[in-house]
């Protein structure tokens, strides 16, 4: 047999992609996408439920959005933590990692590939869920608008006409729009950061359970801490040095997930400035970069 002719590259996107795709295959074949069935049911249920509950047309669409975004957030959060926490420990336990790292694969590539694979599942799931949501919203919006347009063609008092026109303009606003993608993006970014954080924790954690618990704690603290500290700083009469040091330390250690808390605003119709979006996007990328690098530092010298 001849020696391998292909030269070795220090960093190869192909190898990262191979590992990512393999991880994607793994998660797909483990039926991670079955959740999408549940999601479709949630949307269907929401669409059926709301007709019995409220006559307010735009509110019907709001309920659909609320339920769908809730389901998306829950799926992405749980998936980002539970699936990512297991990616590396499982390979170590099964010794699959030995065969991978015995090939000319730098550990950083392995880490990034595994992470990217997990995030690809989230990406595809979010994409499918978004399409489903848009279709459902569009169908409901059109059905409602058709109903009101029929009414509008009847003889109406000026006040009645104004009411119907208002409802129609609200329906137009509340339907599927590009703005909703901001919420999807926010959910996705949050999952990216959470996934990177979980991967980082899993590189030094002693068990999968530990990783999951710590990641969930970090997630909740990361959401609550900015608001609570803000409130505390603005309302407390005097803050001790120790108090301010500890709160500062908490801010340094825990990620600030409020940065990615955009869903409520989007559903309420708020519009995000492009500059703010860019800042949030950069912040998410910085988080991912830092956590992956930290994960690499912990993983680089790990005894296998």
Minimum CB distance to other proteins smaller for 119 or for 218: 218
Shortest Å distance, C-beta 113 to other proteins: 10
Minimum CB distance to other proteins smaller for 187 or for 212: 187
Q: State how far the Cα of 223 lies from the Cα of 206, in Å rounded to an integer.
A: 25
Residue listed under structure tokens 């420990």: 89
Minimum CB distance to other proteins smaller for 147 or for 230: 230
Shortest Å distance, C-beta 292 to other proteins: 11
Minimum CB distance to other proteins smaller for 237 or for 275: 275
Q: In sequence order, which ranges of the chain are alpha helices (DSSP H)? A: 13-29, 34-53, 57-94, 96-101, 107-152, 158-174, 178-204, 208-235, 241-253, 263-267, 274-300
Shortest Å distance, C-beta 156 to other proteins: 11
Shortest Å distance, C-beta 138 to other proteins: 20
CA angle 116, 118, 120 (to 5 degrees): 65
Cα-only R_g, the chain: 24
CA angle 103, 109, 111 (to 5 degrees): 110
Shortest Å distance, C-beta 242 to other proteins: 18
Minimum CB distance to other proteins smaller for 57 or for 119: 57
């Amino acid at each position: 047999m001849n020696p391998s002719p292909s030269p070795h590259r220090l960093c190869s996107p192909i190898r990262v992609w191979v590992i990512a795709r393999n991880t994607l295959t793994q998660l797909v074949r483990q039926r991670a996408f079955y959740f999408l069935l549940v999601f479709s049911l949630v949307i269907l249920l929401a669409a059926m439920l709301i007709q019995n509950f409220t006559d307010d047309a735009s509110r019907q669409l709001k309920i659909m959005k609320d339920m769908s975004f809730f389901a998306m957030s829950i799926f992405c959060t749980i998936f980002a933590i539970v699936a990512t926490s297991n990616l590396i420990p499982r390979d170590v336990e099964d010794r699959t990692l030995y065969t991978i790292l015995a090939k000319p694969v730098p550990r950083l590539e392995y880490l990034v590939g595994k992470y990217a694979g997990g995030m690809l599942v989230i990406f595809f799931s979010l994409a499918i869920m978004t399409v489903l949501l848009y279709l459902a919203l569009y169908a409901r919006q059109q059905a409602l608008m058709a109903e009101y347009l029929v009414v509008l063609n009847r003889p109406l008092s000026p006040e009645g006409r104004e009411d119907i026109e208002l409802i129609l303009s609200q329906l137009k606003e509340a339907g599927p729009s590009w703005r909703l993608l901001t919420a999807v993006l926010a959910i996705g970014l949050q999952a990216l950061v959470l996934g990177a954080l979980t991967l980082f924790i899993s590189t030094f954690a002693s068990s999968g359970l530990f990783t999951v618990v710590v990641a969930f704690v970090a997630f909740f603290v990361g959401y609550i801490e900015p608001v609570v500290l803000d409130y505390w700083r603005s309302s407390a009469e005097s803050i001790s040095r120790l108090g301010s040091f500890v709160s500062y330390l908490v801010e340094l250690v825990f990620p600030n997930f409020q940065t990615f808390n955009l869903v409520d605003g989007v559903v309420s119709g708020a519009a995000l400035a492009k500059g703010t979006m860019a800042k949030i996007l950069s912040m998410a990328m910085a988080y991912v970069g830092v956590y992956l690098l930290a994960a690499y530092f912990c993983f680089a010298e790990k005894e296998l």
